[in-house]
Structure 1
Amino acid sequence: MTDQTGQGGGRGEPVLKLRGISKHFGAVSALTDIALEVHAGEVVALVGDNGAGKSTLVKILAGVHQPSAGTISFQGREVSLADPGAALSLGIATVFQDLALCENLDVVANIFLGREVGRYALDEVAMEIKAWTLLKELSARIPSLRETVASLSGGQRQTVAIARSLLLEPKLILLDEPTAALGVAQTAEVLDLIERVRERGLAVIMISHNMEDVRAVADRIVVLRLGRNNGVFHSDASNHELVSAITGASENAVSRRQQRRRGQDGGAQETHP
């Protein structure tokens, strides 16, 4: 486990640096004094129970909410994320859980939605080439660029949404529950996709409730509890450590199960020296 600030340590200037970020909604404090750093080519998983403040923090980084206090530094300078357009222009792309894809449009149209190529008429060829290049770089499993989104699997839809987020060449991508409600094969597809994004040198923040998915791709795991930092872990942290940090309880079903297993292992060693 590292310190409570979420620092990568020894990796140069972080792409994103948060200090003292707080957010109040009237009398309700959603976030209190949050510190976080994310470096290029690093995946940081943001975990916590419902109501821990994960979504609020992501919406602040996406420019949806404004912090009540604290500073945000991006690529070495302090910035203000006044709205989603400001976040995008700086190089922060967000893929929300609902993906915001148009079911009746094909893959190319969804990737370029709102950013179509062509001054007077759509340049379908240029858009198709760019879309194919992006998907190929991500090793995406999309059967055809002209498939409608409605015909795609959950993993393929995530792929389209992430490819769309890469169009403006961001430096940081925020992924909100990218593997939620996906099957085993589709989850593996999306986790591979996150690896490809990391290999492009981007910083990634991923919200997830699935600890197996988190361990598979995260370099560091940042725990929020009741709107505060509650620990930073490496991906080899035990379930007991993570659950304790998330719930604030040192005694729970996970720890009891691990204690039973240790007892059984010890008993087996005594019986069979």
Structure 2
Amino acid sequence: MSDFGARADCLRVFESQLRNVFLAAPRPPLNHLRILRVVFNTTPLHVILDSLRLVPYLEELRLHIHSAPAPTALPQTLVGVSLKRLAVLEYGLFNDSVRQFAALIDAPALRSLTVQMRLLPDDNMDAVLNRMSDSLTDLTINDGRLDVDSLPILRGLKCLEVLAIKSSTCITDAFFHAIAEDPLCFPRLRSVTLADTACIEPDDGGGLETLLRERNGTGTRTTDAAFSPSRITEVALSSASVPDWLKAHVRHLI
């Protein structure tokens, strides 16, 4: 870090797993920084937001926030941050006191969001996803459970093309059935991924197969051509929790 200040004016990528190391960065704005991947620990939310104000032209932000102070320790009024060029946002929250983080980020160009499912449903996330409805194309869910009850806050993502379920997330068979029954739910969806240890519950309900049949023209539901959803052309089932027979069935439906 000794020569960090000297290189700050031209720095485009800053990445560190050391907690709070970005707080040691120079105070002048880092106008050339485009990619930021950092970890904050016991850091008040307003301090995190102030740090992000130093990087107004970020295009990719990936951060984990650990053990933030209780909400009572934060200022009564939190001022949001404008990141007009931000296209990729990934964040993990390990303390409920910073649940409102994404709601304080103004990112009209955001295309890709990775978030923990345990943050949903939540009033802050409802507002965030509503703002992203016209821009978000890629959604990755880490940890938690994705079921029919999750759809009301997700179905507004009308531009969603890629849905990735990762880590230990469980997605219910009924979730896939619900999408299959509504051609206006994720009408541009073209790719579904289950990776890491993500699972479908139960794994023999046929929801994913039904979705593929309906979206790829081999199902029984008739749809007005004017509202015909996109074909799903990619399904990646690398999770060890997905049975081999389902992987084989899916391959025949793509």
Higher relative contact order (CA 8 A, sep 6+): 1
Normalised by the shorter chain, which TM-score bucket?
A: 0.3 to 0.5
Larger fraction in helix: 1
Taking structure 1 as the reference length, what is the TM-score of the superposition?
A: 0.30
Taking structure 2 as the reference length, what is the TM-score of the superposition?
A: 0.32
